[in-house]
Every structure is written in structure tokens, then in C-alpha cells.
């Protein structure tokens, strides 16, 4: 998937974030700081991290009237050390102050996702297994959070319910069985994946021509047995109960993919500071 800081959905997310925080005006800055005062600022990492979202800074400032100068010293996907400067900016003090929290919220949240994604990717290094993100994202922020996961090295799974078919147990029940679900889904023209929970369902799915399988909530040992049984007749994705501590064991089962919702739903924001000085 291709992401852009100028994607219409991203622009709307940033507009809403600015409106939410600034509202009719930054009353503190208006009360304390002369309107024409110039200032400069630095975004500084306060802990090691994988950066994401820094490309949003030009858009954030442009939406509030622009700044005289903005330098991005890093890009999404770059590693940053503690005390490393990520970007510098110069312009009206009012603009820098009113954009500070929104800019930091995006950088901290998205860098947390990228950093956690990188940890999962590094944990399976040397296997042929790839880490996938999921749809377990913050409502309204999916474009940005999937961009951050990709910055950390994870592969993007489907964006939503509309761009790939994933047949789960309730779909199988509603369709009338594994064969009926797969036959109906084949007409969509989209990639089709099916979840199987028992060896009987597994064998049935393979007999019906399934080429993408999701195995959920297996132990690493059981996953290895099922992958061996599949014997490359289909690609295999594992999910459920996977953590940084056990992801390596799951990857060594021979699976092609591991999807992990924790990358987006449990990431901790990174510590990034904005330091302002008079120009």
C-alpha cells in the first residue's frame, strides 16, 4: 500500500486534530506572547526509537499559515537516538506554540507504532516469515497507523473490509460451509483467505482449492504440525496470542506471515520533546 502525507484522508485527520486542540484560538499564547514575535524550535528524541509521521509537520504548519523555515532531519522509518534532533522550525511564535501539541501527538503515537513494529520484525529476522499489521487501529487513524507500521518494517494487511476477502468462522456458518464460502468468494475477483480452526476444516479448505490460510490461536508446536500438513499447498498466516516473547517460536513453525494487532492497539507513545527559543 502507498501512503502520502497529502492523502485526502490524512489531510482531514490533521485538520480535525488542529481544530480539536486550537478551537477558536490559543488563548494562552494570545495573552502572553506578542503577535509578531519570531521563534525557533527543535523536535528532539528523548529515547531511542523508530521515527514515523515526521512528514506530517509541513502539512500541520501550512494549515496554520505556514512557517519561515522547516527542516526535516529524519524520515519515517529512520532510527533515532536519545537527544537526537529530528526536525527544526522557525516562524511566528504563535504558530509554533499552537501547533506544538498536535505535532507531538502524531509523532509520539506513530513513532511508538513504528518502534514496536520494528521489534517484532527484528524478532523474526532470519526466518522467511513476515510480520503483518491488522485492522485493530484507532478509529479514524488507520491510514496513519498503517503507515507507521510499514515504517517499522511490518507489511500492511488489508486496509478494510473492502479490499480483500477474509473468510472467518462466522462467514463459514452464514455461507453454509467451507466449500460454499470459498465458491462464493471466488467470484469477487479479490484475494481470498480463509480461517480454519480444526484439521477437518483445514483439509476441507485445501480440498476446495484454498490458497491462503489463516490459523488462529494455535500453540507454536501445533502451528508447526499444521504447516507441515499443509506442505506449501497454501500460504499460511498465524494470529492470536502472539507476543514479542513467543513470536520467534511461531515464525520458526514455517508460517509465511504472522499478524499482530498489538503493533497498533498496544503501542506506547515515544518520548519526543519540542524546545522553543526566541529567534
Q: How far apart are CA 31 and CA 160, in angstroms?
A: 45
Angle at 219 between CA 214 and CA 223, to 5 degrees: 50
79-80 and 49-50 as β-strands: parallel, antiparallel, unpaired? antiparallel
Q: For residue 272, how many other CB atoms are within 10 A of its CB?
A: 25
Return the active site residues.
101, 136, 168, 195, 216
Residue 46 β-bridge partners = none
Q: What is the dihedral of CA 77, 83, 86, 89, to 10 degrees?
A: 170
Element (H, E) at 101: helix 93-123
Amino acid at each position: 500500500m502507498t501512503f502520502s502525507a497529502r492523502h485526502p484522508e490524512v489531510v482531514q485527520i490533521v485538520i480535525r486534530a488542529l481544530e480539536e486542540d486550537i478551537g477558536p484560538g490559543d488563548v494562552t499564547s494570545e495573552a502572553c506572547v506578542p503577535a509578531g514575535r519570531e521563534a525557533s524550535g527543535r523536535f528532539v528524541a528523548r529515547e531511542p526509537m523508530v521515527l514515523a509521521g515526521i512528514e506530517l509537520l509541513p502539512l500541520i504548519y501550512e494549515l496554520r499559515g505556514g512557517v519561515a523555515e522547516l527542516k526535516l532531519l529524519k524520515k519515517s522509518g529512520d532510527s533515532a537516538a536519545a537527544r537526537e534532533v529530528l526536525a527544526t522550525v522557525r516562524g511566528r511564535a504563535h504558530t509554533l506554540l499552537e501547533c506544538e501539541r498536535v505535532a507531538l501527538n502524531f509523532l509520539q503515537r506513530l513513532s511508538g507504532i513504528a518502534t514496536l513494529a520494528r521489534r517484532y520484525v527484528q524478532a523474526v529476522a532470519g526466518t522467511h516469515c513476515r510480520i503483518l499489521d491488522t485492522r485493530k487501529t484507532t478509529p479514524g487513524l488507520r491510514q496513519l497507523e498503517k503507515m507507521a507500521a510499514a515504517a517499522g518494517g511490518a507489511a500492511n494487511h488489508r486496509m478494510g473490509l473492502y479490499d480483500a476477502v477474509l473468510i472467518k468462522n462466522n462467514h463459514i456458518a452464514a455461507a453454509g460451509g467451507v466449500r460454499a464460502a470459498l465458491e462464493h468468494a471466488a467470484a469477487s475477483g479479490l484475494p481470498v483467505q480463509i480461517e480454519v480452526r480444526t484439521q477437518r476444516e483445514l483439509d476441507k479448505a485445501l480440498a476446495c482449492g484454498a490458497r491462503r490460510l489463516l490459523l488462529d490461536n494455535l500453540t507454536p508446536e501445533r502451528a508447526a504440525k499444521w504447516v507441515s500438513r499443509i506442505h506449501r499447498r497454501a500460504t499460511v498466516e498465524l494470529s492470536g496470542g502472539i507476543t514479542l516473547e513467543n513470536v520467534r517460536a511461531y515464525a520458526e513453525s514455517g508460517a509465511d506471515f504472522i499478524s499482530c494487532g498489538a503493533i497498533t492497539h498496544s503501542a506506547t507513545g515515544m518520548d519526543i520533546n519540542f524546545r522553543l527559543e526566541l529567534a
